[in-house]
Structure 1
Amino acid sequence: MARISLDLANQIIDHARKRSRELKYRPASVAVVDDGGHLIAYGREEGVGLVRAHIAINKAWSSVAYGVGTRAIGENLVGFDHWLIGAADMVPGHRLITSAGGVLIQDQNGVTLGGAGVANVEDDEGVAAFAVEAVGLVAFVGMGEHG
């Protein structure tokens, strides 16, 4: 598989929304980007605030931009607050997100196809990883970790 189609992105979003409801979490905000960080699809459930859209999209973008899940970005920056402040200023639109919920989407060979970001649910990372794996792809959540 060379890329994530709109249909596949929407399947990932649907799986994330269904998983969030199954676990009785808050309404989900879900985004899928390609390997260049460009938005393919976004979906939200009723009751999700506007800012959650930006968070989900930027979680997906951050995972692709840094090559790891967003939780790993945050963990790797512990004690480097000065770097984080500088990096956030250098990232266009201040898009860097360092909290869990952004995962890389990879094929079975470890090739990165894009990223998925989930916001507003109690386990953003778990829901994102579940959704990616539900469509037969690999969710890369951190440094050497898969969902």
Structure 2
Amino acid sequence: MTISLTEAVALVDAALARGRELNFAPLTVVVLDPGGHPVALKREDGSGIMRPEIATGKAWGALGMGLGSREMGERAAKVPHFANALMAASGGRVVPVPGGVLIWKDGKLMGAVGISGDTSDNDEICALAAIAAIGCIGQTGATPPA
């Protein structure tokens, strides 16, 4: 089971809408399928030129490690040498800070969303709101939802 283009576009649009409601800085949102392939991406006017890579790195790292990027960031702070090894092994593709959230539906991993543009905590707020808006559950930590 994988996230559809229709679901991914709805998720991206819901995340951007939440960012506007909360008056966050311009966001970039990417949705990846379970294999790490992009399904949808939008970058708001004024969102920095590196934001697509950062958002993708948050989502891709979450998929690669099987846990949300918030958890990866907490682990990186506790065990920096593992984080350095992870960065080397991934060719620098992993961004271990909040804003990369795994997407679950009916007990199945559907993909991941990554958001970059505001603070990482605010990026994650938009990700979780958007995941809920499409009827799915977000995973920010190590434990998949029941």
User: Normalised by the size of structure 1, how large is the TM-score?
Assistant: 0.92
CA drift at 1:108: 2.8
1:125-144 matches, within 5 Å, as: 125-144=124-143
1:89-116 superposed Cα distances (whole Å, 9 cap, x missing partner): 111x31111100000001132x111000
Contact (CA 8 Å) 2:19, 2:126: kept in 1 or not?
yes
1:62-119 superposed Cα distances (whole Å, 9 cap, x missing partner): 111111110101112323212221221111x31111100000001132x111000010
Amino acid at match of 2:102: L
Which deviates more, 74-83 or 11-20?
74-83
1:1-147 matches, within 5 Å, as: 2-91=1-90, 93-109=91-107, 111-122=108-119, 123-144=122-143
Amino acid at match of 2:92: H
CA drift at 1:59: 0.9
Contact (CA 8 Å) 2:2, 2:33: kept in 1 or not?
yes
CA drift at 1:121: 2.2
2:7 & 2:144 partners in 1: Cα distance? 23
Which deviates more, 78-87 or 38-47?
78-87
Contact (CA 8 Å) 2:104, 2:138: kept in 1 or not?
yes
2:105 & 2:144 partners in 1: Cα distance? 14
Amino acid at match of 2:51: R
Query: Structure 1's 131 and 140: CA in aligned 2 closer, same or farther, altered over 3 A?
Result: same
C-alpha RMSD of the superposition: 1.3
List structure 1 segments (4+ residues) > 2 angstroms apart after TM superposition.
Answer: 143-146
Identity %: 35
